[in-house]
Structure 1
Amino acid sequence: MKKKSKAEFEKLYQTAAVMYAQLRAGDVLYSSIGPSTFFFSHAGIVGQDGNIYHAHPSGGIAESLPAYLSRHRYGGTLTLLRPKTDPAEAAAWAAQHIGSMKGYRFNRTLADTNWNYCTKFVWQAFSSGCGIDLSAATVKLSKRWIFPRHIKRSSHFNPIAKFSLEYRL
């Protein structure tokens, strides 16, 4: 196994420090498609404690920003999306429900928090916590897919910053 370079860890922590200064509870981190995310986008929501809450193959996890960033070790970008309305209840919902997630599955049942995926979890936090449907659906359905574009292009967010992830852990 190749030894991780000190310089690469320093880049990760520098990126984390710059990002952390801008994060607020309820912000969403949206990652670009790349090898670190198995060629899918990924999304997580910032909790009131500063941790990032997101769906992972092992279930729901909350982790520090440096730990979250280390999962994006092959480069790419992260976009910081800031909700236009108070997201405190979405952040609180995410913290309360992260432990109920048993695993990462593409499950269309919107009320199911046991088997989940990243963009649906973020959608659930805003839908259940704030009453906001990030998908802008015109018809309320109990089953549907929540795609990454629903998060990235939602009119409920302002893009605040884009971060290039240049380290290679």
Structure 2
Amino acid sequence: MSKRPDKAPGWRAWLPDTLLGRMTWLMVIGVLSTQGLGNWLWTHQISAGVRQDSLLAAAHMATSASATVRYFRDLPSAYRVILIEQLRSMGGTRFFVNVNSSEVPVIPLRQKELADLVVSSVEHAMLENLPSLAQLRVQMTMPDKLSISPGGTLVTDLPSAWVESSLLTQPRPAPL
């Protein structure tokens, strides 16, 4: 009579000795594999939907921003500041509008794939609608880091009535 070894070496040491134990082990592995595959597919589908929705929203926003830029650019320069003050006193516009004499420094978001896609989509749509804007620069930043003047004034320093209708700053700020 030969004696059976207690446990086989290697991966077989993990297998149960009984048929019921092995079937249970196989079912656990099957359920975990199915859950993993289902979660991967679900995450992939959600990511694709978010990407598509973000690009669509960016295209719509760029088209609206182009129309706003075209409107203010076509106004005589003496009327721009007056009109902006009137708009602010009446409750604002769809976008926060400010006139600056030079470029405003912006602290961009760290490199993220979706943010980069949105920025390139906005740049493309705005240049398509306003080809005369050869030096257009588009960047995304968080509201608490958004400068609105070359001097470094932040959007959070402004009266809330000026920005609450056009920017999402509370409770969970979204990138701008």
User: Which is higher, the Rg of structure 1 or of structure 2?
Assistant: 2
The structure whose RCO (Cα within 8 Å, separation 6+) is larger is: 1
Greater share of strand residues, 1 or 2? 1
> Structure 1 length normalisation: TM-score?
0.25
Structure with greater helix share of residues: 2
TM-score by length of 2: 0.24
